[in-house]
Amino acid sequence: MNILFICRNNQLRSKVAEDFFKQFNKNPSHSARSAGILAGNLINRDLARWADRLIIVADNVSPSMIEEKYGKKVEVWGVSSNSRELYREIQEKVEKLIKELG
């Protein structure tokens, strides 16, 4: 399964999620990338097509905008960039996702 983690600028939250996924995932049939909606590695049709699952790792990105533009359902984790527990919060969510994927 291909996972695309999304945030606003692809500077922190989506990149942290991608890095944790790559660090903890041991199943070669699962892979992850990250993208932003305003800057960084921008989400585009090719990335959206590649992804089996789109996950917004932010509290300031509209899921409906992405769903309408790319025709795919989006999951929202809603992590704030101001959270003091940002890394722990993302790590826990990524570890849960990896368990779910098997």
Q: Smallest Cα–Cα separation from 48: which of 63, 59, 60?
A: 63
Burial of 41 (0-12, 13-18, 19+ CB in 10 A): middle
**83 has pLDDT over 80:** no
Give the Cα separation of 78 and 47 in Å (integer): 21
Give the Cα separation of 37 and 40 in Å (integer): 8
Tokens of 69: 């533009």
* Single-letter code of the amino acid located at 56: I
Q: Is the pTM of this model over 0.75?
A: yes
Please state the CATH superfamily assignment of the domain spanning residues 2-101 in this structure: Response regulator (3.40.50.2300)
CB 67 within 8 A of CB 22: no
| 50-73 residue pLDDT tens | 999 999 999 999 999 999 999 999
Tokens of 51: 């992804």
Quote the pLDDT of residue 20.
Answer: 98
| 13-41 residue pLDDT tens | 999 999 999 999 999 999 999 999 999 99
**81 has pLDDT over 80:** no
Quote the pLDDT of residue 21.
Answer: 98
